[in-house]
Amino acid sequence: MTALYAPLIAMLLALVFRGVAFEFRWRAARKEPWDWAFAGGSIVAAFAQGVALGALVQGIPVSDRAYAGGWWDWLSPFSLITGIALVEGYALLGATWLILKTTGEMQEQARRLAWFTGLGTLCLIAAISLLTPLMNAQFMARWFAWPAILYTAPVPLMVAAAAFVLFTGLARRHDARPFFAALSLFVLSYIGLGISFYPYIVPPSITIWSAAAPDTSLKFLLVGAVVLVPLILAYTAWSYWVFRGKVDPEAGYH
């Protein structure tokens, strides 16, 4: 955590600022300043999250289970690229969600935005995918050594397939297909990240097993997860079912 204090604190402060802006916008006579405040908080939170992820990918030096780097190790060209990529990717998800949920001019505006954010997201995914193997010799071997490449090659192929579905869905004016294609891009990107990281949770030093809590604590957490995770999934599914279909301003939310 010490290595990522700065971006994580920035992310938390931006989320707080976004929540405050949302509440003040509802009460303010002039809503435009709070619209910008809400957008700014959202962008900063996404950017800081991406920077933290980039810093994790490029590696965190650890000595005797303590952070051994400097205050500014998290800030690098690679982490800045991942920060921009996450902002772009979240914008793509938002645009495709609006295509799914709205009609008329709002949907057309979201469709136009989805073209630009989709192209930007794919370009940044490609750039990060090319740079990531250079961060660590293990990443390079995991992706390009034989026979590991037989298992990793389907991931970029599926990314290309998801991109094809995204842009054909936008071109043919489908409502749902672009959103699920954008979700697929995120899922495949995190699968690629897992392929690079495994078995490390903090490369290049801390494995999943060395970072795990004692068995008794894990068993206690497992009991809670078995109870709570189905409840959270059921609640989420019910929420999506209640608000299914297009947004209807006459229904009382817009």
Domain boundaries, the chain: 2-212, 223-254
CA distance linking residue 93 with residue 113, whole number of Å: 11
Structure tokens at 58: 């490029």
Give strand ranges (E) for 106-205.
200-202
Q: Name the pTM for this structure.
A: 0.85
Assign 134 to helix, strand or coil.
helix
Least confident interval from 153-157, 171-175, 248-252: 248-252
Beta-carbon contacts of 68 under 8 Å, excluding residues fewer than 6 positions away, are 61, 62
Name the more confident of 59 and 35: 35
User: pLDDT by residue (tens digit) across 126-153?
Assistant: 998 888 887 777 777 777 777 767 778 8
- In this structure, what is the dihedral angle of CA atoms 64, 66, 71, 77, given to the nearest 10 degrees? 80
Taking only the tens place, the pLDDT of each residue in 181-213 is: 999 999 999 888 888 877 777 777 777 777 777
47-74, pLDDT tens digit by residue?
999 999 888 888 777 776 666 667 787 8
Band of pLDDT at residue 254, cut at 50, 70 and 90 = very low
Residues 6+ apart with CB under 8 A from 49: 7, 11, 83, 86
